[in-house]
Chain A
Amino acid sequence: DTGVSQDPRHKITKRGQNVTFRCDPISEHNRLYWYRQTLGQGPEFLTYFQNEAQLEKSRLLSDRFSAERPKGSFSTLEIQRTEQGDSAMYLCASILGGTDTQYFGPGTRLTVL
């Protein structure tokens, strides 16, 4: 399968713990996006990478959130000191620059108890 993959698919954690999610984009795609989707809402933009550079961050991305894309390949999203409000589906999408379609992964569902 050459689509976008995300790991883990589900994560349950206790409030205050740190969690890290991974996204593997389609191999030739140089641009990568993270979105967050809460229940009953559409996905909301979190952050954007072009190759290894993080070029845009949403105001939704508090100081507890950090994202990386070392070497412009896979990306990680870390949430420190999780809160119940962080419970959501975290979606990753990749796209080849100059094209128009973002391809989404299956998402990581985070539940903070």
Chain B
Amino acid sequence: AQSVTQLDSQVPVFEEAPVELRCNYSSSVSVYLFWYVQYPNQGLQLLLKYLSGSTLVESINGFEAEFNKSQTSFHLRKPSVHISDTAEYFCAVRPMNTGFQKLVFGTGTRLLVSP
């Protein structure tokens, strides 16, 4: 079984400040890792994913995440946030090498960006 821990339920930051949203996971098998973003009254959108290869993955809107196998972490970072980044961010995992692709999500971190 897998589990995902997002310790910070809410992270307030000022616009143009850097931010890190933490994600740790537990799994007895190798996993793929994902970050999804949920804007108010909308469904989840994929932000970025780690499947294999380089442990640093980037999104098109400036976010990046680094897979750390020894720390079982996949923290999300952005060097300078915008007001429009205000949303809920979910970290998720699913086992590799299985046709059953159920995602296991963390409880989410609400990013609040203020001017």
Contacts and interface: CB of A to CB of B under 8 A. Distances in A.
Interface of A: 4, 6, 31, 33, 35, 40-45, 48, 50, 55-56, 91, 93, 95, 97, 100-107
Interface in B65-115: 90, 92, 99-108
Q: Which 8 pairs of residues, A with B, have the shortest CB-CB distance?
A: A42-B105, A104-B43, A104-B44, A106-B43, A45-B102, A43-B105, A42-B107, A42-B90
B100 A42 contact: no
Interface stretch (B11-19, B45-53, B56-64): B45-53
A56 to B, nearest CB: 6
Chain B residues touching A, majority SS: loop
A41 B107 contact: yes
Interface in B31-52: 32, 36, 41-46, 49, 51
B43 A44 contact: no
Given A42-B92, A42-B106, A100-B51, A91 B43 contact: yes
Contacts of A35: 103
A31 B101 contact: yes
